[in-house]
Amino acid sequence: MTESAVLAAQIERWPIAGHFTISRGAKTEAVTVVAEIGRGGHVGRGECVPYPRYGETPEATLKAILSMQEAVGRGLDRRALQAMMQPSAARNALDCALLDLEAKTSGKRVWDLLGRPAPRACTTAYTISLGSPETMAAATAKVAHRPLLKIKLGAEGDGARIAAVREAAPRSELIVDANEGWTAANLEPNLAECARAGVTLVEQPLPAGEDEALARIMRPVAVCADESVHDRASLEGLRERYDAVNIKLDKAGGLTEALAMADAAHAHGFGIMIGCMVATSLAMAPAMLLAPEARFVDLDGPLLLKRDRDGGLRYDDSLIYPPEPALWG
């Protein structure tokens, strides 16, 4: 008789080094929820970040995870999970925990189980928080040796901000994330300023659902959907507005959907960016399987924390290495 699986979950709080500021506000800690599924002496783990932008809270996410205890005990698998839960942070934690458990039980790496390319060390973006041009330039100067910087914009005066950042990091590749902070009125001037600064990509300049203007203009910089894209079902309507999509496991509801979404995005002709919330290496590790598909990898969450969890991913400056089996997968 097969031993039943046991589900546990908890909320964790991880202090951020300094503060993390975007157009919607600032925070000083990352609040994550970790799911653990144990069976036969093995424990699979998955970490998620509830996102207030989508009405998620840590408490509700924890409750949603624990509501699956009976299903997990009956042998819930990833396919059934997709049908039982809508895409969410909670489903991400469970999906990743089930994958980790499968890998640990089989003694195989998760990419071999899924028939995906083994991830290799790759360059991650490093985020510069939103602030005054002077503050952002000073922060940029400290990390100007990094090859890829992600610049948070989305407020009045963004032209001055990106110009100051470019002066502070003349050799770095720059990508911008406006976090829905621009308007149809300032979209073209801001894109022009980004083009002038040599920005490669601009993420989600307009609010989701109010981004029609992107289809009516000449885009001098490639534009990437973030809040406007969630899973495969959301891709079709974006083709005239965006050049790329940012795939995040918390939005997609887990690695299972994220991998399928990456395949579908390629078929639709989108470039791919792999993104993250501010979280520990346990949340970044599954996303590493998407890195071979991506033009941009943005998995710097642990670099923004005061400390990562023990046994976390290896970061060599901006170079991020695949997870060891003890961490995940």
**Residues taking part in catalysis:** 152, 248
| CB contact burial 211-241 (16+ within 10 A = b; e otherwise) | bebbeeeebebbbbbbbbbbbbebbeebeeb
Q: 13 - beta bridge partners?
A: 31
User: Residue 6 and residue 328: Cα distance in Å, rounded?
Assistant: 18
- Angstrom distance (rounded) from CA 150 to CA 282: 22
**Are β-strands 173-177 and 201-203 bridged in parallel, bridged antiparallel, or unpaired?**
parallel
Q: How far from chain centre, in Å, is Cα 262? A: 13
Distance between CA atoms of 269 and 243, rounded to whole angstroms? Answer: 8
Cα separation of 248 and 91, whole Å?
13
Question: Which ranges of the chain would DSSP assign to H, the alpha helix?
Answer: 58-66, 69-73, 78-84, 89-106, 110-114, 133-142, 158-168, 187-196, 249-252, 255-268, 281-287
Judge whether 317 and 311 are in contact, CB under 8 Å: no
